[in-house]
Amino acid sequence: MNYKLFRLLVLTGSVLFLNSCDKSIDQPSLEVYEPAGLDENGGQWKPLVLASVDEVTVPAPQAIESSSYKTELQSLKDLKVTPDQQKTVDFWAVGGVYRWNEIARTLAANYNLPPVYDEIQKKYPVPDAANPKAEPKFPFCNPPYASRMFAYLGAAQYDALVAAWKYKYQYRRLAPSKVDASITPTLPLSNLPSYPSEDAVVAAASLEVLKVMFPGEVEKLTAYYEAHRNSRLWGKANVSSDLDAGEALGKAVAAKIIARAKADGMGAANNQAAVAAMVSDAKVRGLKKEWTSLDLPARPPMLPTFGNVKTWNFTEAQKVAMRPVPPPALGTAGFEKDLQELRNMGKNLTREQHRIASYWSDGVGSFTPPGHWNREAANLTRKYKENELRAARTMALVGTSLMDAGIACWDTKFYYFTPRPFQVDHAVRSTIGTPNFPSFTSGHSTFSGAAAHILGYLFPNEADALMVLANEASNSRIYGCIHYRADCEVGLEHGKAVGQFAVKRAQNDGAGR
């Protein structure tokens, strides 16, 4: 009897044990799709930063009868592709724009860690771009930094691809397998002309921008670049001259995008010396109690002058004109109502409300709220089978909207300088962590309103669902007890107004919806 029971125990244990041994993490697999359209006139679309694609030129390719082209074809034919190389081909065949944004999100999460207090110097050190690998690593990829990084990545990919499209349809060089039927590509190919290679364009433009944004990651980024480029040879999708021309074009456009970045005022976005005047100005406007850091020891506010950075889709005057009116002042009935809601929320938070707060938390160590919406956008480019150019346009419009939202929100936050709920009442504790900057308006709400609005324009079938997501993201900050309702509701509307400027750009860039 004992023995039988023991055997049963061992057997049951083993079965449970084996079940729990499957530690692999199932992630959604990404199919390679044929684009819904090729946007043959894409070379005429309006770029974001370049005044015109004529700013960059791509020399005419060698004719397909030339001996140099025939040599290139022959080297493709001679190529023996290993299984590992084929994996690389399959990885990048999902889409260069998609993959480089995915890499950018990973880097954002890897660098989204605030500096550690220096007990000897008695201060928080500031990351140094000239010494990016030393602690604290550069950058601290907080939400404003991430929004800007995604914006420039999107802009570089988009402008470079508009130029690429122009030259593709000007020269109309066919893919190697369409010139020589004995070449069989190992990935699906559309009828897009292959010179200059759109993959090399995206890879080079992305590499150059991300090297500036993450200077400590040059080796890793270069390895991604090499892999992406090689994947087009190993897949027999491009000859070397397609790739060389694409690389040169991508780099040339990236240089112009980076020049804009260097001059956008980000270098002055962490001006802590301006804070005292910001507080006194806000008090003149009626502020009763200014925001102070909840971190211990108190941490200087995150990028207090990011609100002055150059915007993409509206002017400085338009930014000021749409700045929200102040929230209910401390001590007023309106303020008390919002605060009481948070007191009750802390006591009665449902599991579903917590799920929402956690799902949208996007806090320290995550790819930030701009990264969250970058992923939403990237997934939609796949759902609607956008070609590389159109996908880049989507990512650029969303990316610039998110950066604009960050600028407009930071401008508002440091204009009003309002305290966080915990500061006013220590009973209001958070389940998700309070960010280190003033309360009004909610950054999540502003980012979400802007991204959902432009995405809703680009994907009208998704508009309602996107706005549901944006509302949820906005409410998540109330459920997390780190924002008053006014911060969230006003921030969401402010974000939609920011997104509307991106819609205007999209209506006039020649791409249609």
Partner 1 sequence: MPLFTCLRLLRSAPLVILLLAGNLYAQTPTDGIMMGKQLICNVASYSNSQWDQYWEGTLKRRNANVGTFTGQNVMLMSAYGLTKNLNIMAGLPYIWNKSDGGHFSRQQGIQDLSLWLKYRPLKAETSFGTFGLLATGGVSIPVNTYIPDMLPYSIGLRSRTASIKGIFHYKIKGIYLTAQGGYTGRSNIHIDRDSYQSGGKIYDTHEVSVPDVVDASARLGYINKHVQVEGFIENMTSQSGDDIRRQDMPFPTNKMDQTSLGGMAKVHLYLKNGTFFSFFGQYSQVTAGRNVGQARMYTIGIQHTFNVMGHPIIM
Q: Which stretch binds partner 1 (CB under 8 A): 32-40, 88-96, 189-197, 291-299?
A: 291-299
Q: Is 249 left (phi over 0), alpha (psi -120 to 50) or beta?
A: alpha
Site string for partner 1, 370-399 (x = CB under 8 A): --x--x------------------------
Of 11 and 255, the one with the shorter C-beta distance to partner 1 is 11
The answer to whether residue 26 forms part of the interface with partner 1 (CB under 8 A) is yes
- Residue from 77, 283, 337, 429 that binds partner 1 (CB under 8 A)? 429
- Rounded least distance, CB 143 to partner 1, Å: 15
The type of residue at 312 is W
Chain position carrying tokens 């290139």: 72
Token pair, residue 196, equals: 């200059």
Please state, in angstroms and rounded to a whole number, the distance separating the CA atoms of residues 405 and 247.
32
Closest by alpha carbon to 163, among 73, 255, 64?
Answer: 255
Quick count: other Cβ atoms within 10 Å of Cβ 292? 14
Of 365 and 460, the one with the shorter C-beta distance to partner 1 is 365
Site string for partner 1, 344-363 (x = CB under 8 A): --x----x--xx--xx-x--
Please state, in angstroms and rounded to a whole number, the distance separating the CA atoms of residues 197 and 237.
9
The answer to whether residue 12 forms part of the interface with partner 1 (CB under 8 A) is yes
The answer to whether residue 110 forms part of the interface with partner 1 (CB under 8 A) is yes
Which value, to the nearest 10 degrees, does the dihedral of the CA atoms of residues 225, 226, 227, 228 take? 50
Site string for partner 1, 205-234 (x = CB under 8 A): ------------------------------
174 secondary structure, DSSP code: P
- Rounded least distance, CB 136 to partner 1, Å: 8
Give the helix/strand (H/E) hosting 486: helix 485-507
The answer to whether residue 330 forms part of the interface with partner 1 (CB under 8 A) is no
Which residues are CB-neighbours of 293 under 8 A, at least 6 positions away? Answer: 299, 300, 301, 436
415 CB-contact burial (10 Å; exposed 0-12 / middle 13-18 / buried 19+): buried
- Residue from 64, 366, 462, 493 that binds partner 1 (CB under 8 A)? 366
Please state, in angstroms and rounded to a whole number, the distance separating the CA atoms of residues 415 and 328.
15
The answer to whether residue 329 forms part of the interface with partner 1 (CB under 8 A) is no
- Residue from 16, 36, 129, 268 that binds partner 1 (CB under 8 A)? 16
- Residue from 17, 315, 316, 468 that binds partner 1 (CB under 8 A)? 17
- Transcribe 116-156 into DSSP letters: PPBTTTTB-----TTSTTSSSPSP---HHHHHHHHHHHHHH
Give the helix/strand (H/E) hosting 439: none
Helices (H), 30-116: 67-78, 83-93, 96-110
- Rounded least distance, CB 24 to partner 1, Å: 8
Of 25 and 333, the one with the shorter C-beta distance to partner 1 is 25
- Residue from 59, 286, 331, 433 that binds partner 1 (CB under 8 A)? 433
Which residues 444-503 are close enough to bind partner 1 by CB under 8 A?
Answer: 481
Are the CB atoms for 33 and 382 separated by under 8 Å? Answer: yes
- Rounded least distance, CB 301 to partner 1, Å: 16
- Rounded least distance, CB 74 to partner 1, Å: 39
Which residues 123-152 are close enough to bind partner 1 by CB under 8 A?
Answer: 135
Of 163 and 428, the one with the shorter C-beta distance to partner 1 is 428
Closest by alpha carbon to 324, among 407, 415, 194?
Answer: 415
Binding-site size for partner 1 (CB under 8 A) equals 56
The answer to whether residue 32 forms part of the interface with partner 1 (CB under 8 A) is no
Please state, in angstroms and rounded to a whole number, the distance separating the CA atoms of residues 493 and 238.
46
Q: Which residue ranges make up the site for partner 1 (CB under 8 A)?
A: 1-2, 5-6, 9-10, 12-13, 16-17, 19-28, 102, 105-106, 109-110, 113-116, 135, 294-297, 346, 351, 354-355, 358-359, 361, 364-367, 372, 375, 422, 426, 429-434, 481
